């Protein structure tokens, strides 16, 4: 490109993009800006603030969903002193290079005196790959901006400290709430030793998941059901109950197959719902089946299921299956995201134990009425209406004829949210 030719630059400001025409461009950084993975190498970005750069890193990090678990999704963006994009990268696959390394490799010598924005603290330990903190130091950055500290015990600020000790300016907490939400499943696995639980259901506009005669197929439209298969294809396990197995005889597989093959988990205190004629058993070659039982399950029943190729996990409970133990077992298996596809009874049990982290509710433009028709979440329920919303990060999007409502279940303020609240006097 000659000096007289124009170069189209994209200015990112407050999450919005606008294109500006720049003449007499001699900036080699703009001409050679690079990005890893599927992101275009032809777009030249300039950012208006540190927040905009970090939001870019968060956005590209999500490209790794379904590929990086049990690792967290991480994005990295390298810019010059004027916040022109040099290179960007994200963690693309578990066991492979982390986001910072991908971005550094693309930037080459342009990292010298540049700024690195990374959504999560660079690691300081040897795992599948060497410590990223050492590569960050060697790259010669002027400044490193970190979205949030690593919640894992083997991280916990050590990478930040190592980079600071090398004489590099480190700033922590830019877009911290968003950066923390990005790694929420990973943090849940690290801190609580259990996976992030996605609860999914489809209901009519009057809040029913089945008629009074228990007829339920199909409430949602074809596009909504296709979305569910996509979610199944990126989680590590799909959980259902004995009642759903008896009533619907589900497969619980992703069709078409997704990035991950989910373990199919059945909560059944006796194990009697899982028999040789069930689709779960007939398709055992397409995905493993784990039946979680209580001490009510006889040795004969456990042996029968194992002969069918079914895995059995017995919880330390006399009657109902201990759901906390089930999630701990899935955490031990390094499951990061699990989807709960079950009837009102099991959904209610998870809700009452405060074990649901995220909700995906499809609302169909249908009315069925009926005092005896089922609502999505059963159990005893709350004794009083919550004084404040117990769902956050509420999102709504059309899905065919339906609407998909999604939200996170509130657990009280996180440390990051509490700190931000105190800073702003809220």
Place of tokens 């603290």: 121
Catalytic residue numbers read 100
Tokens of 292: 């979680």
With b for 16 or more beta-carbon neighbours within 10 A and e for fewer, the 355-364 pattern comes to bbbbbbbbbb
Per DSSP, the three-state class of 26 is coil
CB-count exposure of residue 198 (10 Å: 0-12, 13-18, 19+): buried
The 3-state secondary structure of 43-87, one letter per residue: CEEEECCHHHHHHHHHHHHHHHCCCCCCCCCCEEEEECCCCEEEE
- The answer to whether the bond into 382 is cis (omega within 30° of 0) is no
Dihedrals φ, ψ of 86, to 5°?
A: -100, -50
Q: How far lies 286's CA from each of 10, 29, 55, in Å?
A: 46, 48, 38
CA distance 107 to 114: 10
CB-count exposure of residue 35 (10 Å: 0-12, 13-18, 19+): buried
Query: Please, how many CA atoms are within 13 Å of residue 370, restricted to the half-sphere of its CB?
Result: 16
CB-count exposure of residue 4 (10 Å: 0-12, 13-18, 19+): exposed
Q: Are 53 and 77 in contact (CB under 8 A)?
A: yes
Q: Are 225 and 252 in contact (CB under 8 A)?
A: no
- CA dihedral for 217, 218, 223, 224, sign (positive or negative): negative
Q: Are 36 and 98 in contact (CB under 8 A)?
A: no
Counting every residue written for the chain, the total comes to 426
Q: Are 289 and 318 in contact (CB under 8 A)?
A: no
Q: How far is CA 313 from the centre of its chain?
A: 26
């Amino acid at each position: 490109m000659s000096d007289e030719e124009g170069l189209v630059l994209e200015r990112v400001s407050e999450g919005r993009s606008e294109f500006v025409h720049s003449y007499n461009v001699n900036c080699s950084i703009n001409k050679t800006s690079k990005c890893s993975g599927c992101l275009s190498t032809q777009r030249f970005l300039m950012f208006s603030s540190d927040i905009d750069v970090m939001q870019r890193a968060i956005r590209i990090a999500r490209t790794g969903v379904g590929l990086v678990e049990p690792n967290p999704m991480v994005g990295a963006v390298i810019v010059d002193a004027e916040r022109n994009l040099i290179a960007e990268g994200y963690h693309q696959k578990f066991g492979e290079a982390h986001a910072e390394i991908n971005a550094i490799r693309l930037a080459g010598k342009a990292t010298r005196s540049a700024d690195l924005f990374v959504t999560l603290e660079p690691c300081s330990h040897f795992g599948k790959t060497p410590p990223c903190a050492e590569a960050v130091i060697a790259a010669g950055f002027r400044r490193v901006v970190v979205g949030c500290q690593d919640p894992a015990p083997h991280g916990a600020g050590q990478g930040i400290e190592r980079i600071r000790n090398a004489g590099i300016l480190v700033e922590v907490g830019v877009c911290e709430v968003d950066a923390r939400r990005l790694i929420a499943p990973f943090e849940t696995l690290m801190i609580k030793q259990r996976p992030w639980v996605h609860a999914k259901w489809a209901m009519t506009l009057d809040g029913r998941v089945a008629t009074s005669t228990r007829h339920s197929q199909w409430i949602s439209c074809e596009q909504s059901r296709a979305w569910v298969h996509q979610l199944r294809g990126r989680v590590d396990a799909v959980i259902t109950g004995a009642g759903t197995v008896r009533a619907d005889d589900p497969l619980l597989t992703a069709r078409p197959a997704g990035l991950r093959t989910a373990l199919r988990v059945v909560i059944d205190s006796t194990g009697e719902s899982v028999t040789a004629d069930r689709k779960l058993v007939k398709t055992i070659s397409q995905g493993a089946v784990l039946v979680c039982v209580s001490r009510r399950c006889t040795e004969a029943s456990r042996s029968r299921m194992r002969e069918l190729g079914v895995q059995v996990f017995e919880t330390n409970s006399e009657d109902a299956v201990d759901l906390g133990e089930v999630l701990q077992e899935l955490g031990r298996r390094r499951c990061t995201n699990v989807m709960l596809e079950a009837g009102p009874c099991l959904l209610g049990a998870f809700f009452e134990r405060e074990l649901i982290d995220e909700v995906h509710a499809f609302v169909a433009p249908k009315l069925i009425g009926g005092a005896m028709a089922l609502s999505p979440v059963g159990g005893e329920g709350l004794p009083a209406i919550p004084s404040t919303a117990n769902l956050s990060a509420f999102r709504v999007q059309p899905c065919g004829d339906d609407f998909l409502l999604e939200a996170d279940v509130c657990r009280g303020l996180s440390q990051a949210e509490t700190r931000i609240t105190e800073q702003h006097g809220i």
